[in-house]
């Protein structure tokens, strides 16, 4: 650890010179930083920027998020996936209003107690918003630390993960020693690690000659950059099939809302069901799914999507009907394309909607 002071100083200097100008970096508002951190989980910065801007316009404060309708919150989130995160944001906002009179808590223990907040997010909020010496460890930071310290074991293993958290803690605690008026070394150190992983120490072809840590990096010295971090053995993918139906009645499509307690609760979807194989008898599958036989039905598109290790091939059919439909106990509606656009869909069903819109071309107002 003798090199720790040099490493920390190099990272702080590099971050001041190279940090990208991202909208959430222009504020120290913990609410705004929290939203950015949750959106950035498994989503790239360039995708998140418009979502974050829109969210902050629509819900500029904890109180505005707490009192919003869940459907509005989901609509604002639609397209980012992982809808539980949006629901957790609102539950946490409501808790902050009831337990902390609407002020974002400053204490790590209070922050990590909020719904959907784990050790990484709590550490990011404490350090970035409040400049506290709390560590962060996401995929980028894991890669950077594993390479600098030459850690060759699987970072998903408990012991290795513990060691990486300890290193992250040492670094940010050391950074706190450089506190001077108008500086935020804990915030900068953690963001430097994240930024380095995102822009320089990338998974493939890291740019070591440009790296501020190159003199201290064991992976580089030992020519083991490509081997570190160790690859986690992934479980085998499971292939699944499903069918969805975009049924049109007088220019309106049938959609239904998922109930509370289900996966993707409160989101809308085209009627669908899982099949054991590619669809062969489409009319009978449609009947099982819809409870009626459409007047006409034809293949429309295929949406391939992945949930964890499940690779799902969703075959989409369009059809027409002139009959009524009760919705089989679910909250179902017949909506124009314009009305569908206002609803929150999971990403696979949003792709179906986009394909329908592309096929329909510019819209005439419904009669
Ligand atoms: S020297 Fe290369 S491998 Fe080491 S931290 Fe920097 S970019 Fe990553």
Nearest protein Cα to ligand 1, atom 8? 201
- Percentage of the chain modeled with pLDDT above 90: 82
Separation of 197 CA from ligand 1 center, angstroms?
A: 9
User: Measured from the CB, is residue 147 less than 6 Å from ligand 1?
Assistant: yes
For residues 299-324, give the mean pLDDT. Answer: 91
- Indicate which residue's Cα is closest to atom 4 of ligand 1: 217
Relative to the CA of 144, which ligand 1 atom is closest?
Answer: 5
Task: Establish whether residue 143 lines the binding site of ligand 1, counting it when its CB lies within 6 angstroms of any ligand atom.
Answer: no
DSSP single-letter state for residue 237: P
Confidence of residue 46 (pLDDT cuts 50, 70, 90): very high
The answer on pLDDT for 330 being more than 70 is: no
What pLDDT digit, counting tens, does each position of 12-36 carry?
A: 999 999 999 999 999 999 999 999 9
The pLDDT score that the predictor gives to residue 216 is 94
Total Cβ atoms within 10 A of residue 173: 16
pLDDT value at position 289? 92
Tell me how far CA of residue 293 lies from CA of 282, 304, 318, in angstroms.
10, 26, 12
Q: Is the pLDDT of residue 68 over 90?
A: yes
Q: Which of 193, 206, 229 to mutate to test the pocket of ligand 1 (most atoms within 8 A of CB)?
A: 206
State whether residue 332 is helix, strand or coil: strand
Q: What is the DSSP letter of 261?
A: T
Domain 4-227: assigned CATH number? 1.10.340.30
Q: Is the dihedral of CA 106, 108, 113, 117 positive or negative?
A: positive
The answer to whether 211 touches 196, Cβ cutoff 8 Å, is yes
Question: Would you place residue 329 in the very low, low, confident or very high pLDDT band (cuts 50, 70, 90)?
Answer: low
Q: How high is the pLDDT of residue 262?
A: 83
Question: How many Å apart are CA 225 and CA 228, to the nearest integer?
Answer: 5
Q: Could you read off the pLDDT of 122-135 as tens digits, one per residue?
A: 999 999 999 999 99
Q: Stretch 84-113: mean pLDDT, rounded?
A: 97
Instruction: Assess whether pLDDT exceeds 50 at residue 121.
Output: yes
Cβ of 200 less than 6 Å from ligand 1: yes
Mean pLDDT of 320-348: 82
Residue 127 CA to ligand 1 centre (angstroms): 24
| Atom of ligand 1 minimally distant from the CA of 213 | 6
Q: How confident is the model at residue 328, as a pLDDT?
A: 53
Q: Which of 84-98, 194-208, 228-242 has the lowest mean pLDDT?
A: 228-242
pLDDT at residue 367 tops 50? no
Cis peptide before 229 (omega within 30 of 0): yes
Averaged pLDDT score across all residues of the chain = 93
Give me the residue spans of the domains in the chain: 4-227, 238-360
117 C-alpha to ligand 1 centroid (Å) = 30
* Res 3: pLDDT: 83
Model pLDDT, residue 325: 60
- The reported pLDDT for the residue numbered 199 is 97
Q: What is the mean pLDDT of residues 247-268?
A: 90
Of the ranges 76-85, 155-164, 218-227, which one carries the lowest mean pLDDT score? Answer: 76-85
CATH architecture of the domain 238-360 equals Alpha-Beta Complex (3.90)
Q: For the chain, count helices (H), then strands (E).
A: 16, 7
pLDDT tens figures, 272-293: 999 989 999 999 999 999 988 8
Q: What are phi and psi of 333, to 5 degrees?
A: -145, 155
Instruction: Confirm or reject: Cβ of 240 under 6 Å from ligand 1.
Output: no
> Which of these ranges, 144-148, 244-248, 345-349, 352-356, has the smallest mean pLDDT?
345-349
Residue 365 predicted with pLDDT over 70 = no
Tokens representing 341? 């656009």
Q: Is the pLDDT of residue 95 over 70?
A: yes
Pocket test for ligand 1, best of 6, 7, 147 (most atoms within 8 A of CB): 147
Which pTM was predicted?
0.84
Is-same-fold flag (4-227; 238-360)? no
- Where in 19-178 does DSSP place strands (E)? none
- Confidence check: pLDDT of 366 > 80: no
Catalytic-residue membership of 37: yes
Q: How far is the CA of 134 from the centre of ligand 1 (A)?
A: 23
Q: Tell me how far the alpha carbon of residue 195 lies from the centroid of ligand 1, in angstroms.
A: 12
* Test site for ligand 1: of 11, 192, 212, 225, most ligand atoms within 8 A of the Cβ: 225
**Going by CA atoms, what residue is nearest to atom 2 of ligand 1?**
208
Q: Is the CB of 124 under 6 A from ligand 1?
A: no
Reply yes or no on whether the pLDDT at 259 is more than 90.
Answer: no
| Ligand 1: centre distance to CA 124 (Å) | 22
Helix/strand/coil percent split, the chain, to 5: 50, 15, 35
281 vs 323: which has the higher pLDDT: 281
CA of 204 to the centre of ligand 1 (A): 11
């Amino acid at each position: 650890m003798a090199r720790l002071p040099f490493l920390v100083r190099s990272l702080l200097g590099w971050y001041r010179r190279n940090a990208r100008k991202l909208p959430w970096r222009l504020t120290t508002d913990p609410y705004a930083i929290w939203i950015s951190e949750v959106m950035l989980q498994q989503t790239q910065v360039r995708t998140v920027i418009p979502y974050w801007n829109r969210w902050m316009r629509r819900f500029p404060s904890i109180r505005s998020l707490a009192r919003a309708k869940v459907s509005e919150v989901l609509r604002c989130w639609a397209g980012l996936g992982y809808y539980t995160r949006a629901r957790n944001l609102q539950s946490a906002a409501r808790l902050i209003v009831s337990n902390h009179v609407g002020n974002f808590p400053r204490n790590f223990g209070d922050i990590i107690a909020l719904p959907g907040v784990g050790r990484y997010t709590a550490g990011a909020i404490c350090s970035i918003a409040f400049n506290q010496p709390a560590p962060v460890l996401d995929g980028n930071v894991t890669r950077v630390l594993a390479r600098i310290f030459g850690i060759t074991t699987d970072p998903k293993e408990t012991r290795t993960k513990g060691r990486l958290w300890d290193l992250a803690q040492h670094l940010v605690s050391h950074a706190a020693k450089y506190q001077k008026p108008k500086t935020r070394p804990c915030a900068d150190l953690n963001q430097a690690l994240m930024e380095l992983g995102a822009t320089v120490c990338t998974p493939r072809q890291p740019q070591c000659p440009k790296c501020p840590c190159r003199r201290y990096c064991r992976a580089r010295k030992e020519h083991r950059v490509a081997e570190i971090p160790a690859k986690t053995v992934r479980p085998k993918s499971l292939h699944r099939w499903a069918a969805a139906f975009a049924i049109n009645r007088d220019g309106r499509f049938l959609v239904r809302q998922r109930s509370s307690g289900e996966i993707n609760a409160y989101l809308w979807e085209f009627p669908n069901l899982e099949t054991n194989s590619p669809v062969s008898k489409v009319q009978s599958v449609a009947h099982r799914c819809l409870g009626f036989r459409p007047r006409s039905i034809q293949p429309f598109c295929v949406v391939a999507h992945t949930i964890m290790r499940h690779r799902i091939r969703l075959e989409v059919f369009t059809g027409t009907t002139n009959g009524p439909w009760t919705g089989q106990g679910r909250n179902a509606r017949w909506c124009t394309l314009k009305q569908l656009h206002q609803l929150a869909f999971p990403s696979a069903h949003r792709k179906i909607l986009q394909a329908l819109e592309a096929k329909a071309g510019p819209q005439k107002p419904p009669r």
